[in-house]
Amino acid sequence: MKFKLKRQEIDQKLVDFGVKKIKQNRVHVPRATSKTLKGLAESLEEIQKNGLPKHLVLKKLKKKLGHGIFLHPNAKPILKGEVIAPYSGEVALFPQNGEDNSDYVFSLVSDLLLTKQEQLSWDPGRRYHPRRLYSIDLDAHKKGNFTRFINHSAKPNVEAHFLRIPANSLGLSPSPFELLYIAKKTIRPGEQLLLCYEGEDKSYWGVLNIKPFPMTPKTFRLISPRGQSSFRSTSTMETI
C-alpha cells in the first residue's frame, strides 16, 4: 500500500497558529488518555511495518463506492474505545467552503476569522475581507494512511476524536491537536469499518451533491471459508 503516512503533516508555524485560534475560539481539545496513547503507538508501528495493519483488509466495493476497510474474518473483535489509527494527511489553512476541498478532507478547526495581518500572511493571493471564514483542514488526498479508505455510514462503528497528544514515554511526538479514529462500538470480524462524515453543518455530502449509499457495518461482509478470507459479493482485490 502506498498510503503509509503515520501521522498528520503540519509545519510548526501552522501548529502555533492553530493553538492560538483554538484558544481564541475556546475550542476544548481533550488530552489523550494513557490507553489511547498506547493504542496510538501500536497502530503507528503496524502502519510503519505493513501500511495496512494485518488484522484489516482493503476491499474494492461495488460501483462508485470505491474501496473500504474491513476487519479480517479471523481477527479478534475491535473493542469500543480501541484506537484504529490517526487520520493522517497534509494540514493547511483554507478559506472555508472553497473549491479546493477533496473527498478526503477533514476540517479540524473551522469558522476562523483572521485579522488583516493574518490574512495577508496566510492568504496573500486574495483581497482582504474581514468576514471571510477559514478552516484548518487535514487532507488525505495525496498523502495519508489506510484510514482514508474508511467509508461513510449514518450508523458508524468508528468515530473521530480531536485530541491533544501530551508528552509521553512511548516515543510519540506530542501534538496540541490531532485526529484519531477510535472504535465507537465493538467491531466484529468481517464487518466494514465505517464513520459518519457528516457533522451538524451537513457540509460533506451536501457540497459533493451525492446521496450516500446507506451502509451499515454488516451490509458487506468478509467471510472466511476454510480459514481464508473471501468477500460476500464478487469483488477484485486491488493494490493501492
In 3D space, the residue among 46, 6, 14, 9 whose CA is nearest the CA of residue 139 turns out to be 9
x/- map, 146-165, ligand SAM, by CB under 6 A: --xx-xx-------------
Residue 59 interacting with ligand SAM (CB under 6 A): no
Q: Which of 137, 196, 140, 106 has its CA nearest to residue 1? A: 140
CA angle 180, 28, 124 (to 5 degrees): 85
Q: According to the binding rule CB under 6 A, does residue 213 interact with ligand SAM?
A: yes
Residue of the chain from 16, 23, 35, 66 that contacts ligand SAM (CB under 6 A):
66
Rule CB under 6 A: is residue 7 a binding residue for ligand SAM? no
Parallel, antiparallel, or unpaired for β 175-183 and 83-86?
antiparallel
Residue 220, all three cell numbers? 458487506
Regarding 21 and contact with ligand SAM (CB under 6 A), the answer is no
Q: How far is the CB of 227 from ligand SAM (least distance, A)?
A: 27
Question: Which amino acid, 59?
Answer: K
* Of 9-17, 111-119, 183-191, 206-214: span binding ligand SAM (CB under 6 A): 206-214
DSSP three-state, residue 161: strand
Q: Do 97 and 207 meet the contact criterion of CB atoms below 8 Å apart?
A: yes
184 binds ligand SAM (CB under 6 A): no
**Residue span binding ligand SAM (CB under 6 A) among the ranges 39-47, 62-70, 76-84, 178-186:** 62-70
Q: Check if the beta carbon of residue 72 is closer than 8 Å to that of residue 57.
A: yes
**Chain contacts with ligand SAM (rule: CB under 6 A):** 65-68, 103-104, 148-149, 151-152, 208, 212-213, 215
